[in-house]
Structure 1
């Protein structure tokens, strides 16, 4: 199996090791890319209806539009 390892604030890599994380992050990557990015934290029960993504997030700066909302 594979488990994710956080490299930077929003960059993850997959390692071929036993699964060790808490399964709380949904990751994605571009078709030809190698960087895995979090889509968002998993929605908590009882409202697991949507994932929300901020498109203004910059590595090491956070959201450049919404700040810490």
Structure 2
């Protein structure tokens, strides 16, 4: 539960206003189930960065991963 919302959120990380709107629109994000989905999606996308894809998202994804670790 929440993986679709987490994926949408991930791809809006470069646009802070849009990312905030996505978080507001999907209250599952930040819930226990949502945090698990966020961590999974973040890890999956960081793996794509390691393979040379989604490089523009690397910094926002790493920042997001740090935020998730603190929760």
TM-score where L is the length of structure 2: 0.22
Structure 1 or 2: more helix by fraction: 2
Structure 1 or 2: more strand by fraction: 1
TM-score where L is the length of structure 1: 0.23
> Bigger relative contact order, structure 1 or 2, given CA contacts below 8 A and separation 6+?
2
- Larger Rg belongs to: 1
